[in-house]
Amino acid sequence: MTISRGRALVTGGAGFIGSHLCERLLDDGYEVLCVDNYYSSTKDNIAHLLDNPRFEVMRHDVTFPLYVEVDEIYHLACPASPIHYQRDPVQTTKTAVHGSINMLGLAKRTGAKILLTSTSEVYGDPLVHPQTEDYWGNVNPIGPRACYDEGKRAAETLFFDYHRQHKLQIKVVRLFNTYGPRMHPHDGRVVSNFVVSALAGEPLTIYGEGQQTRSFCYIDDLVDGLIAMMQTGDEVTGPINLGNPGEFTIAQLAELVIEQTGSASSLTYLPLPQDDPVRRQPDITRAQKTLGWGPTIPLSEGLSRTIDYFRSTLA
């Protein structure tokens, strides 16, 4: 008989990152409660986990209180791609703010440790490169991306105020671009956009001249970082950047995707969207020192796995 390591709640557990985290926690011996309202996720991501007796799924919107008993809370719930979070920006802000208040209230009542997946978007279009955790960011508070950027900034504020005021055990991580199997094929993110287009033989759309940069972290590496952060002592609150510091231009990514898919796709160019960051690269010194964490999977390898996933699911 396996002795459970505790009961972990994962909000947004049926999403791209959440489903991989649920899977890993089950493998590590946890009981897992997956909560999701399926706004930008799918039950297909967790279908293979449903037969596990330590896995439970609840359809719930975190903007409403949740009354359960748990030991750890991974708070991931929030649409994270521009297409999804801009579809209903008011609801996005409510999810980030009300959702955090409700999960923090749950942590306060149960005494659970609680981790927030914040985002590199708190840095906005950064004036500091690479981005360190002590940089306060350059965010347009009234632009079309503000519902997500400012929502996550407010969520961080709430986490640290609950920590100071109520002595909650909080963990805050800032996630940079993450990719891998189970990404939504039409979520508007650059890796899934390029791979899906290349496999269909359609043009790859590049915004601007393709010289803006991003850093891409494979999902397995990211999940390792989330769990390492949760396992730190009470003195570690973050924020801590989690991402791969390898910096690539969007044009370089497009070339790599075309090469690895063997596609004959061409490139098309459109104007840059408003407030789209020009450069994005994490400084992960704090994660390396505090968590002993760093990414191990290079872009070429992770991209190959991601292409295989889309090739099989879109066939």
Residue that has been written with the tokens 């796995």 in this structure: 305
Would you kindly state where each structural domain of the chain is located, as residue ranges?
7-313
Q: Are 139 and 150 in contact (CB under 8 A)?
A: yes
Among 136, 19, 12, 20, residue whose Cα is nearest residue 66: 12
What pLDDT was estimated at residue 86?
86
Confidence at residue 247, expressed as pLDDT on a 0 to 100 scale: 92
For CA atoms 57, 62, 66, 72, the dihedral sign is positive
Residue 188's pLDDT is 81
Distance CA 29, CA 46 (A): 17
Name the pLDDT band for 31 (thresholds 50, 70, 90).
very high
pLDDT category, 85, cuts 50, 70, 90?
A: confident
pLDDT digits (tens, 9 = 90+) for 134-166: 999 999 999 999 999 999 999 999 999 999 999
CB atoms within 10 A of CB 153: 21
pLDDT in tens, 1-14: 455 689 999 999 99
- Give the mean pLDDT of the chain: 94
Least confident of 57-66, 82-91, 174-183: 82-91
Catalytic residue positions?
148
* β pairing state of 213-215 and 247-249: antiparallel
Domain at 7-313: CATH architecture: 3-Layer(aba) Sandwich (3.40)
193 pLDDT exceeds 80? Answer: yes
Kindly report the pTM of this predicted structure: 0.95
The span from the CA of 208 to the CA of 180, in Å, is: 25
What amino acid is encoded at 62 in this protein?
V
- Per-residue model confidence (pLDDT) at position 2: 52
Rounded CA separation 159/286 (Å): 19
Q: Dihedral through CA 263, CA 185, CA 73, CA 105, nearest 10?
A: 140
pLDDT (tens digit, 9 = 90+) per residue, 202-226?
A: 999 998 889 999 999 999 999 999 9
How close are the terminal C-alpha atoms of the chain, in Å?
41
Q: What is the mean pLDDT of residues 115-128?
A: 95
d(CA 266, CA 280) in angstroms, rounded, equals 25
Tokens of 249: 């231009």
Answer for the pair 29, 50: CB distance below 8 angstroms, yes or no. Answer: no
pLDDT 10s digits, 271-312: 888 777 788 899 999 999 999 999 999 999 999 999 999 999
Q: What percent of the chain has pLDDT over 70?
A: 99
The pLDDT score that the predictor gives to residue 1 is 43
